[in-house]
Amino acid sequence: MNIGVLALQGSVKEHIKMITSVNKKIGVVPVRTIDDLASVDGLIIPGGESTTIRRLLDSFDLSTPIRERILAGMPVWGTCAGLILLASHIDGESTYFGLLDVDVKRNAYGRQIDSFVADGDFDGMYMPMVFIRAPMITRVGDGVTVLAEHDGVPVAVRQGNILATAFHPEMTRDSRVHKYFVGMIDSKD
């Protein structure tokens, strides 16, 4: 199995390390080209700055090929900025991939200085959740399952092959969300 981490900007190294810690046999590919993308069975879109990542996705001609792979069923996981890019509606901005039926509001938890860690339940697993200028999920569509909440607000969601978290599991030592994502790829028919 090969897992790609979109490697244009953001917390790329941290995700690569986490996937390797889940299982050393999994190949991890930093994705920057269409060929890189073709070699992976699942893709992580990391946190960072969504405006920068969307601009780079356009200039690396990766937008359409990634969108097509997601539509064809490739498991994808967006963390933070990645969630913003996947969302079907972004408050005050145009959408990017628009494939995950949620509304998000960027930076709704406050500025960098308001970053925080909270313990919470992700699909029955209690874990630390790191929020860094996180987007807030303000609406969840009917076909979307909420996997985690913070203060009653969804912070992890899944819609079929699409997983998204407002928080950053790669910034902790807890690799269980990475393991969950590997499970999504494993169970894909």
Which residues in this chain contact ligand GLN in the complex, by CB under 6 A?
Answer: 47-50, 80-81, 84, 106-107, 132-133
Active site residue 149: no
As measured in angstroms, the least distance from the Cβ of 12 to ligand GLN is 12
Give backbone dihedrals phi and psi of 84, rounded to 5 degrees, phi first: -60, -45
Between residues 80 and 163, which has the closer beta carbon with respect to ligand GLN? 80
Between residues 69 and 133, which has the closer beta carbon with respect to ligand GLN? 133
Active site residue 170: yes
Instruction: Choose, from 15, 150, 168, 178, the residue flagged as catalytic.
Output: 168
Instruction: Choose, from 15, 150, 170, 178, the residue flagged as catalytic.
Output: 170
Between residues 41 and 91, which has the closer beta carbon with respect to ligand GLN? 91
Instruction: Choose, from 80, 89, 150, 178, the residue flagged as catalytic.
Output: 80
Q: Is 29 helix (H, G, I), strand (E, B) or coil?
A: strand
As measured in angstroms, the least distance from the Cβ of 111 to ligand GLN is 9
Long-range contacts of 62-66 (CB under 8 A, 24+ apart): 62/6, 62/8, 62/31, 62/32, 62/33, 62/34, 62/37, 63/96, 63/97, 65/34, 65/37, 66/6, 66/37, 66/97
As measured in angstroms, the least distance from the Cβ of 50 to ligand GLN is 3
CB 107 within 8 A of CB 115: no
Listed in order, strand segments (DSSP E) in 83-135 are: 87-90, 100-105, 116-122, 125-131
As measured in angstroms, the least distance from the Cβ of 73 to ligand GLN is 25
Active site residue 49: no
CB 39 within 8 A of CB 31: no
Distance, CA of 57 to CA of 48 (rounded, Å): 13
Six-digit token pair at 50? 């969504």
Between residues 6 and 81, which has the closer beta carbon with respect to ligand GLN? 81
User: Catalytic amino acids?
Assistant: 80, 168, 170
